[in-house]
Structure 1
Amino acid sequence: MSAGGYHVHGPHDHELEHAAHGDSHAGGSHSGGKSMTSQIAVFTAIIATVGAIFAYMAGLTQANAGLLKNDAGMKKTEASNQWAYFQAKSTKQALAEFALDMSPEERKAGWQTKIARYEQEKNDIATAAKKLEHESTEFDEESEAQMHMHHRWAQATTALQVSIALAAIALLTRKKWLEWGMFGVAGIGVLIGVLAAMHI
């Protein structure tokens, strides 16, 4: 990437340039060194690609978790509104029951009808409120599941980034144990990515 005449690149790009030029710092005469350089360069390119996919999945699951949490909040608000409506009906029912007790006999039937209507309306409102609360809980659980997957993808991405860093150090130091460490950490990253894909 160029900015103002300067070429900006990361350590992975730098090491790939070395690989393309036959690793002139190693003299280019050692076939083992060139083989190691080429092997690590190809491996790093593959891991960087897989890491980019994992990073995308981490961002996607985080966004999904946020949307689901927002849906849960909306359902909770709707449920609260329904319970407030339920409370208002309960107050009206209580007043109707008081009026029933205080009214002359010829008006009691009318108040009794209103009380029965308020009771039915309260039952309908309570059913709707409980349904909204259940939906809110489901959205919350789905959000938590998405966040769990997000953490898995993020862990996998981090492991692959560490593996790429180890690859750059292995190219510079020519340490075989660093190369094995690079493969090991990458393997862990891929395994975590598989667990994320399996929703584990």
Structure 2
Amino acid sequence: MSGGGFHVHGPHDHELEHAAQGEHGETAHHGVGGGSMTNQIAVFTALIATVGAIFAYMGGATQANAGLFKNNAAIKKTEASNQWNYFQAKSTKQSLAELARDLAPEDKKTGYQAKVERYEKEKNEIKLVADKLEGESKAWDEQSDAQMHQHHRWAQATTALQVAIALAAIALLTKKKWLEYGMFAVAGIGVVVGGLAALHI
């Protein structure tokens, strides 16, 4: 506390002065300069915490998208399956019509042949729809996989930033410079991985 024109050091002031001497090799007066490492880490921690929150949000969004796209793929797959079942039913009717045509007397063959041709035409139309639906299902699956890959990147980046924040806390407690360097390095890795996520790499 201060009083009567003189200053009395508290335990925290001594700790800051000690840290400043360890960093710069010079004696700090009343803690001036001793807070440089503390302030630097505090500001940096706030920054990476903010970036980490953004990365975590993006990770959650991409995971949600992946689930939605996978659901869309399943819906299209089911619709395609229904179309193929319809196709199979038409094939069965066509086979029966062909059998009836072959067994029918000559004056009835023309009618059955018309049915065979109609079923063939309908089958081709159904096949086009089924193929289109399968293509859409595959496209949704690929988009889902891409979103999951991006989600994993965001998760990796977020984890790296969380580790950096933990290192920052330990660095503040121990006043170890190498921990501060480690904090910067791990945070840098997290930002790079986040960049990869943003670029869909």
| TM-score normalised to structure 2 length | 0.86
Shift of 1:106: 1.2
Shift of 1:27: 5.3
CA distance in 2, matches of 1:195, 1:88: 49
Count of residue pairs the alignment pairs up: 179
Uncovered stretches (5+) of structure 1, i.e. residues with no partner: 1-22
Distance 1:80 1:135 in 2: 13
Aligned counterpart, 1:97: 98
Q: Tell me which amino acid in the other structure corresponds to 1:72.
A: A
The reply to whether residue 127 of structure 1 matches residue 116 of structure 2 is: no
How many angstroms does 1:26 deviate by? 2.0
CA RMSD of aligned residues (A): 1.5
Identity %: 71
CA offset at residue 51 of structure 1? 0.2
Alignment-derived partner of residue 4 in structure 1: none
**Matched AA of 2:15:** A
1:178 corresponds to 2:179:
yes
For the pair shown, which has the larger CA radius of gyration, 1 or 2? 2
Q: Which structure's relative contact order is higher, taking Cα pairs within 8 Å and 6+ residues apart?
A: 1
Extract structure 1 runs of 4+ deviating beyond 4 A: none
Q: Does 1:41 align with 2:37?
A: no
- Aligned mates of 1:109, 1:31 — CA distance in 2: 105
Mapped partners of 2:174, 2:128: distance in 1 = 69
Corresponding residue number in structure 1 for 2:115:
114
Matched, 1:140 2:144: no
**Which residue of structure 2 lines up, in the alignment, with residue 58 of structure 1?**
59
Tell me, in whole angstroms, the C-alpha distance in 1 between the residues paired with 2:116 and 2:16.
Answer: 97
Q: CA deviation at 1:127?
A: 1.1
Amino acid at match of 2:76: K
User: How far is the alpha carbon of 1:72 from its aligned partner?
Assistant: 0.5
Looking at structure 1, the residues matched to 74 and 191 of structure 2 have their Cα atoms a distance apart, in angstroms, of 35
The alpha-carbon distance between structure 1 residues 190 and 27, as it changes in their structure 2 partners (threshold 3 A), is closer
Q: Which runs of 5+ in 2 are unaligned?
A: 1-11, 18-29
* Separation of aligned partners in 1, 2:91 and 2:13: 86
Q: Is the 8 A contact 2:13 2:31 kept in 1?
A: no
